Amino acid sequence: MHRFLHAFVDPFAFRQALPDVWSGFLINVHMMLIAEALVLVLALLIAIVRGLPGRGAKPLRGLAIAYTDFFRGTPLTIVAYVCILGLPGLGYPFLKNASSEALGVVALTIVYTAYVTEVYRAGIESVHGSQRMAARSLGLTYMQALRYVVLPQAIRRVVPPLLNDFIGLQKDTAIIGAIGVTEAAAQATNYANSYFNYTGYFVAAVFFVYLTIPLARFTDNLIRQRELRERAAGI
Amino acid sequence: MSENGAQFVSVRGVTKRFGDLEVLKHVDLEVAKHGVVSLIGASGSGKSTLLRCINLLERVDEGEIVVDGQRLTGEKVDVNAVRRKIGIVFQAYNLFPHMTVVQNVMLGPRKVRGLPRDRCESIARELLQRIGLEAKAREYPDRLSGGQQQRVAIARALAMEPDLMLLDEITSALDPQLVAEVLQLVRELTEVGMTMILATHEMSFAREVSDVICFLDGGVICEQGPPEQIFSDPREPRTREFLARVIEAGRM
């Protein structure tokens, strides 16, 4: 037991590994923030395309479906290898000079956009058709009905599953560390290699957990407040 | 367009199918300007479908619909422009739950008519005052009673200043004690000369406000005429049967 504690949660090693793991963790946070912003927007666009009505939009819908099917099924590790190691070799200057961190963000965005598209789509489909009908009956166009009536309701409903996917994304930034970005997990590995002690991983884990808990409580609060405001008391 | 005697709404030979099921079969219906027509009949007789066809929420398979001289059916019709002029109120109110009452009423004027915000706000306030719900302007719909929600839904449709109102069983989801406040509002609309088509189960109300009663049965207008004739002296056996059942159920 003592040996276990010493190897994984040693107080001295904790303090010693902390600064490097912290500086690595800032890279995780950085990647996560950019990827999340991109995912939020791109996934919404793809979800909208996937729901477009009419025969004319069929090819677009097909593309959206193909994208989500393919990237939901592909492990992030594979996408990350292709992006970080493969893309710079294509010879385009902007890809050649791109940092591994930026390419890692591209990989995270590609994979998580596929997940989040499905979350949005479920939300859009959960809004009853009568809402859209009421909006259209006022003379709103398809896009106006979507924008002012369907999406605001859909997005509210998917905040909890969306947060869940973002926690996944936050954690998966560590996978990018395995392919040449010195983020928190990679810093912990460096520490382990230098001192034969794995407490650095514990430090990294603590950071990740500390990042998700406030976010989860924040979302809970958001949902409760909205319910209080929109629902009659006692229902 | 709609000079003396000319019909404001003309439905000619309209047929609507859902798959193999013919919900409307060659329906003809005329409504004069300022006229009020009530559609009565059992559930599933096609009343709601007919109203939705007039608002182009359902596509007509055959026949044509003309409102105010403008043909709504066929190719190259701007459905959004048509709907702007035709208000519809639904049985289930269908208010937007994420918007306050005043926002619900303002949405159409703001986004469809493109009016400036303060103008929309004053239109909405005026309407809410008219329906007696000024005090609820900042509430969310879920905090209102069913009757209040339905009155807001009517105000929302009126905010578009429609030429024609379609009311689709607007009191059917309400508790009996809430029906009167909604019907009173409809009564006021008839007094200001709004052209209306109502699908309803409120027979005595239909009798009171309508110029014409249409009895639908199995997607066909089985009989139509002035309320006195339909309710006192129905000619068709099916109309008689239907009204007998209504009386039996104590709804007249």
Kindly indicate whether the domain formed by B7-248 is annotated with CATH number 3.40.50.300. Answer: yes
List the strands of the sheet with B36-40, edge to edge.
Answer: B86-89, B164-168, B195-199, B36-40, B212-217, B220-225
Domains, chain A, ordered by start = 2-230 (1.10.3720.10)
CA B149, CA B167: separation in Å to the nearest integer? 14
CA A3, CA B157: separation in Å to the nearest integer? 74
- Tell me which chain B residues have a C-beta less than 8 angstroms from the C-beta of A230: 97-98, 140, 142
**CB neighbourhood size of A231 (10 A):** 13
Q: So what's the pLDDT on residue A92?
A: 86
CA A13, CA A195: separation in Å to the nearest integer? 9
Instruction: Give pLDDT tens digits for B54-78.
Output: 999 999 999 999 999 889 988 888 8
Instruction: Give pLDDT tens digits for B121-145.
Output: 999 999 999 999 999 999 999 999 9
Mean pLDDT within B141-161: 95
Instruction: Give pLDDT tens digits for B76-104.
Output: 888 998 899 999 999 999 999 999 999 99
Name the one residue in this structure whose structure tokens are 């200043």.
B161
Task: State the pLDDT confidence band at B150, using cuts at 50, 70 and 90.
Answer: very high
Q: Do A113 and A42 form a contact (C-beta atoms < 8 A)?
A: yes
- Tell me which chain B residues have a C-beta less than 8 angstroms from the C-beta of A130: 90, 92, 94
CA B85, CA A4: separation in Å to the nearest integer? 76
**CB neighbourhood size of B202 (10 A):** 22
- Tell me which chain A residues have a C-beta less than 8 angstroms from the C-beta of B80: 139-141
Q: Do B193 and B36 form a contact (C-beta atoms < 8 A)?
A: no
Tell me which residue in B87, B96, B143 faces A149 most closely, judged by beta carbons: B96
Instruction: Give pLDDT tens digits for B175-190.
Output: 888 999 999 999 999 9
Q: So what's the pLDDT on residue A233?
A: 46
Query: What would the DSSP string read from start to end of B150-218?
Result: HHHHHHHHHTT--SEEEEESTTTTS-HHHHHHHHHHHHHHHHTT-EEEEE-S-HHHHHHH-SEEEEEET
Which tokens is B99 given? 């918007």
CA B247, CA B105: separation in Å to the nearest integer? 38
Which residues of A have a CB under 8 Å from any CB of B?
Answer: 130-131, 133-141, 144, 148-149, 152-153, 156, 229-232, 235
Q: How many residues does chain A have?
A: 235
Q: So what's the pLDDT on residue B252?
A: 67
Q: How far is B96 from chain A (nearest CA, A)?
A: 7
Percent residues over pLDDT 90 in chain B: 85
pLDDT over 60 at B236, yes or no: yes
Count of A-B CB contacts under 8 Å: 64
Q: How far is A231 from chain B (nearest CA, A)?
A: 5
For A154, name the nearest residue in chain B, comparing CA atoms only: B98
Tell me which residue in A135, A141, A232 faces B143 most closely, judged by beta carbons: A232
Q: Where are the domains of chain B?
A: 7-248
Per-position pLDDT tens, chain A of length 235 = 788 888 888 888 889 888 999 999 999 999 999 999 999 999 999 999 999 998 989 999 999 999 999 999 999 999 999 999 888 888 888 888 888 999 999 999 999 999 999 999 999 999 999 999 999 999 999 999 999 999 999 998 898 889 888 989 998 999 988 887 888 888 889 899 898 889 999 999 999 999 888 888 887 887 788 777 766 544 4
Task: State the pLDDT confidence band at B3, using cuts at 50, 70 and 90.
Answer: very low
pLDDT over 60 at B14, yes or no: yes
Host H or E run for residue B220: strand B220-225
Q: Which of A128, A131, A137, A230 to mutate to test the interface with B (most CBs of B within 10 A)?
A: A137
Residues 6+ apart with CB under 8 A from B9: B29, B30, B31, B54, B65, B66, B67, B164, B195, B197
Q: How far is A81 from chain B (nearest CA, A)?
A: 43
Name the one residue in this structure whose structure tokens are 């309710």.
B231
- Tell me which chain B residues have a C-beta less than 8 angstroms from the C-beta of A148: 107, 111
What is the CA angle B51-B240-B88, rounded to 5?
Answer: 15
Q: ipTM of this model?
A: 0.90
Return the closest-CA partner of residue A136 out of B79, B124, B121, B74.
B79
Q: How do beta strands B212-217 and B36-40 pair? A: parallel
Return the closest-CA partner of residue B55 out of B95, B18, B16, B6.
B16
Q: Which of B58, B91, B98 to mutate to test the interface with A (most CBs of A within 10 A)?
A: B98
